[in-house]
Amino acid sequence: MSSTTEHQYEPFDDPQWYRDAVIYSLHVRSFMDADGDGMGDFKGLTQRLDYLQDLGVTALWLLPFYPSPGRDDGYDIADYNDINPDFGTLRQFKRFVKAAHDRGMKIITELVINHTSDQHPWFERAVASPPGSRYRDWYVWSDHADKWPEVRIIFQDFETSNWTWHPEAEQYYWHRFYHHQPDLNFDNPEVRQAVKDALDRWCELGVDAFRLDAIPYLYEREGTNGENLPETHAFLKELRAHLDSKWDGRMFLAEANQWPEDAAEYFGDGDECHMNFHFPLMPRLFMAVSQEDRFPIIDILQQTPEAADGCQWALFLRNHDELTLEMVTDEERDFMYRAYAHDPRMRINLGIRRRLAPLLANDRRLIELMNSLLFSMPGTPVIYYGDEIGMGDNIYLGDRNGVRTPMQWTADRNAGFSSANPQRLFLPVVIDPEYHYETVNVEWQQHNPRSLLWWMKRLLALRKRHTKTFGRGGIEFVDPGNHKVLAFVRTPPDGDDGSGEVPVLVVANLSRHAQACRLDLSAHDGQSLIEMFGRTTFPPITDQGYGLTLGPYQFYWFAIERAPSRLSMSRMRDHALTEPLNDPHDGVPSVNVSGEWNALLRGRGLARLEAVLPDVLARQRWFGGKARALRNVTVSDVAPLGAKDDPTLHILIVHVEYVDGEPEEYVLPITFADGEEAGRLAATSPGAVLAEVKGRGAKAHSGLLFDALHDPRAASLLLDTVNRKRRSRTGSGEIVGRRDTALGSAAELADLEPALLRVEQSNTSVRFGDRFLMKMVRKLEPGMSPDVEIGRYLAGRIDHVPELLGTLDYQPKGAKEPRTLAMLHRFVPNEGDAWVYTLDELERFSERAVTDGEEIDRLFPRSNDPPIRLAREPIPDAPHDAIGPFLGAAQLLGERTAQLHLALAAAGNDDRAFAAEGFTRLYQRSVYQSMRNAVRRGLQSSRDSLDSITDEGARDKIVELIAREHDILELLRRLSTERIDTLRTRIHGDFHLGQVLCTGRDFVLIDFEGEPARPLGERRIKRSPLRDVAGMLRSFQYATYSALQFQVERGTVEGGTTSYEALRQRLREWNRWVSAAYLHGYFTAADGHPFVPADPDHTAILLDAFQLEKALYELSYEMNNRPEWVGIPLAGIAEILGDEEAT
């Protein structure tokens, strides 16, 4: 083995030292400036090694310190063999390495080999060489910029292509990151040897380990996404063999930002990288505490393959880059932006550029909880410099510099980082009031034993005493019976190494409120739980459930061991569970007011109104929070509309906070009635009444508070506000009317009689004569409603959608985007929606099927082919004869659906909101993960709701279905294993028969807001148009089952009889052929367009997956709301899974 001549390398006794390490990540330029030039250096870092040793870290990961133009914080390397002169000299580096080793700390540095700077001599030499020559071949070139189109662009906020034209070289060069970072050509043996030479250079200088930056992207191959290619793994094995043959105790740490199964491949068989960052786990830790649900953590760990022998995952909360959201689903990414990056300046590429403390709102309890999870989960923890003291960030600095500011050592000038003039600093120190360096610094926290810094020291010291269990042990999850609590046992590794370590129970409350749980610890019966921080003994474990109560964001680390002979029980604080709100009483709530009723809209009167709003909301069919426990309801704004001294109505913006989950805002337009008008309203429209107002005092005003949309005057005023583009100031913003096209004169509009549509829906619609339809949005969200966005986009592109005429918006003060309050469409004369039309047709068919069943059976072709297979050919005459004209209507509806999708896919690339995007392997993996989440949550919900099912047969089927979770996930896995060539676009998003109007001879597609229960950001996500198709197929099945139930209820057939079974089979055939006709119309109209995969098998994979996801959601919904309807989704699921008894 090689030894150095300049610094004798002394490895730790254990060659797998990295499995027990605590890694501290820092940038030399950000840590300590010893020479006063405003930039950190190796001399300053060496001076601070005692601090790092005292903290308890055992390895230092240094970000790039090589010569560089500095356009990507050193990751644009101009020389692999030297030190950036801004950071010091090679001699100072050697002193630093020796000093670190003397303190028992390993050194990890960056080996950035995917690319170099465009100022590297290698690239300059390549540019100067002719195409095809030896040196030109060190990089990747092309005469055209359309090569490898499937490769994603990583820095989407900065680059529009992976190719950049070089005028001097007269060719395009390839770059996966910034255009000033050309990619090396690893097909060239000289490049591979140059990398080995650089590796040897730093090993000779005493470097212990290398983080392999951007390692999945080394090679490019036609027809691939350019990631995780076999050639990359082959080269890693070659590089690892070179390392092992020459250097003892060294380590590779892969930066492979991939899904778990792909990331694990970088361990190889223990012959590639020793360690790998667990990128998918990191964002799910943040998801879990924001959603107050352990599911994201458990699910991703269950998908994580075990590391190869001797290998280890590296775990982290934050680092020098953005909090990457590449390995999450589109829905999860939207959630993370809403939860942690409400200001667009906090976002960059596909991530969030914030430090740990600001991400967690500087909540000390939450910061401690997150670190406790980081240090107790399987893997090696990585701390980012400054997070141990809770440093803040600066989102106003460019790129990711906001999280790379100088380390805050003292309250002195420049935070003790440098003696330079503050204007010379490479970046300004943080002076945000909450995180100001005069308050947040090492010196102050060193003198405060209750500071975050001291807490972190104690945490590291405690982990060190159990290093083998935490670093190399196993993990066993424990079900706490409460989804807000995460519990697991870390078991010591196999084999007695003399450490005497014991199992450790970790229990963490992911909620901001106190929680109770009960753990099955019977496997440790007779032992005791010893709280590890205070060595407090808890009651002994029995074979009964072990109850614990945890405060907000509280966690426990318990050693499971024999109880000491003397029990020293400390008194545990009682944590009361939140009191649930009482169910609203059946009567109309009442509110007292002194003087006139509008005193309820200000001051103490408003507080009285807010007190009854929970009851008011619970009675509204559009309120989506009925199943959630309310914490607080307030009025955030009041918008009067009409005459200044006597407004016709007031629009209330109601802010609703829940015990669990994100808050919501609702729109409540109100007005007042008294005397005879109040009596008439209570008699004719009791659903309009919101509350009874009881006046007190000389100017007492008693009557009814009611929903203003029931008042024709109020509805007409809303229409006039849109027509005249009126603006009305509110306490916290303004109401703005916007008109897209002329509506007519004010007099013409005044003659239109408003009529409230009494339809069950999440919004409320008012019809104005036969000309307009206004839809009031009830759940208010930041940004434009997709119904408005898509409506404006579709204008002039397609005929079979209502014309959008205008909107009513709410513009809060300081908000960049208005919020859609209402939208105005041209009214479409119709004969009802397609749901009613379909049920009417099914009733007629059912009557024929009962009275003339043999003829129906004769007409249906004998075939068990699924609808998607039948749809590939024209529908035969016989099914037309059996079903009648509705089969042609279904085909027409399929054509209209395809025309919608064709229009939505027609946007140019300059329209980012609508431009179609191709499926990539990464996106397919994301879709699989999204569906996996939905399936597992749906089955868990079904398991929890089994008691609601009284039908034993249905209950047995649900139990069988739950037991088949693995089979379902394997079916869905085809989404990630099969390469599917198709597009994703904007879609309808909530497509079913109720979203289609029948005009007599045609169909009109309506309501493009998406699923109202989903956040607005999720509803704007681009998806496969086949999701809409799957929604319509599920709607056909629901209609079929409804028809069967109706025939039972009216006594035509009796359940369990031969006639019932015969009708069921004939309705099943009806559904099969109607679905086939719909699909045939769709495929015919969409023929050749890439949003339908060219491979029919791939189309079937997508449709099966989307239908299965929807059916499982339906099962959960029906179990909780209409248990007698569970047969519908069960039948759909059985059919997709290929069960013979599908009904």
Q: Element (H or E) spanning 121, and its range?
A: helix 121-128
DSSP H or E segment with residue 245: helix 230-246
Contacts of 767 (CB under 8 A, 6+ apart): 754, 755, 756, 757, 773, 827
Please state whether beta strands 171-174 and 209-212 pair in parallel, antiparallel, or not at all (unpaired). unpaired
Distances (CA, A) of 149 to 119, 146, 158, 229, 913: 27, 6, 18, 16, 20
* Phi, psi dihedral angles at 923 (to 5 degrees): -65, -40
Q: How far is CA 665 from CA 652, 715, 779, 783, 992, in A?
A: 10, 21, 6, 13, 27
Host H or E run for residue 474: strand 474-477
Interacting residues of 91 by C-beta distance below 8 A, sequence separation 6+: none
| Nearest alpha-carbon partner for 491 in 564, 562, 561, 553 | 561
Environment class of 8 (CB within 10 Å of its CB; exposed 0-12, middle 13-18, buried 19+):
exposed
CA separation for the pair 543, 519 (Å, rounded)? 10
Instruction: Report residue 576 as tokens.
Output: 């009361």
Residues in the chain: 1143
Site of tokens 């509806």? 893
Question: If you write DSSP's letter for every residue of 675-738 in order, what string do you get?
Answer: HHHHHHHHHH-GGGEEEEEEEESTT---EEEEEGGGSHHHHHHHHHHHHTT-EEE-SSEEEEEE
d(CA 973, CA 285): 24
Contacts of 731 (CB under 8 A, 6+ apart): 637, 638
Q: Which of 20, 76, 86, 255 is catalytic?
A: 255
Dihedral over alpha carbons 884, 885, 890, 891 (to 10 degrees) = 110
Residue pointed to by tokens 């409804």: 1042
Identify whether 255 is a catalytic site residue. yes
**Cβ neighbours around 31 below 10 Å, total:** 24
* Tokens of residue 629, six digits: 């426990």
Return all residues near 425 (Cβ < 8 A) that are at least 6 apart.
Answer: 38, 39, 406, 414, 417, 418
Rounded Cα distance, 418 and 550, in Å:
44
**Secondary structure string (H, E, C) spanning 1064-1107:** HHHHHHHHHHHHHHHHHHHHHHCCCCCCCCCCHHHHHHHHHHHH
Sole residue written with tokens 């939140």 = 578
Catalytic residue among 33, 72, 183, 213: 213
Cα separation, 688 vs 1023, in Å, equals: 38
Three-state SS at 306? coil
CA-to-CA distance for 205 and 1071, rounded, in angstroms?
Answer: 73
3-state SS class at 921: helix
Distance CA 1025, CA 984 (A): 7
Specify whether 213 is catalytic. Answer: yes
Angle between helices 1127-1136 and 952-963 (to 10 degrees): 40
N-to-C CA span, the chain: 70
Identify any residues that bridge with 107 across adjacent strands, giving them in sequence order.
Answer: 60
**Which residues are known catalytic residues?**
213, 255
